[in-house]
């Protein structure tokens, strides 16, 4: 999942670069950055405390 979001984020970034930053793509790029941050945090917590997710 994380890799998929990172690839999508990179694709949006390249499109922004080559099309002079359309406003809608900037919004999607920022949303992608937020999703990546959440996914990395989730992965880190799952690795550090594997039993904690089952208890919640």
Tokens at 55, concatenated: 């208890």
Tens of pLDDT, residue by residue over 33-46, are 898 899 889 888 88
Residue 20 has a pLDDT of 83
The secondary structure of residue 49, as a DSSP letter, is -
CA atoms of 34 and 5, how far apart (whole Å): 10
pTM of the model: 0.59
Residue 24 has a pLDDT of 85
């Amino acid at each position: 999942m994380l890799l998929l979001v990172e690839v999508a984020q990179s694709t949006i970034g390249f499109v922004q670069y080559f099309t002079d930053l359309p406003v809608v793509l900037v919004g999607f790029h920022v949303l992608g950055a937020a999703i990546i941050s959440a996914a990395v945090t989730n992965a880190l917590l799952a690795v550090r405390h594997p039993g904690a997710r089952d208890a919640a």
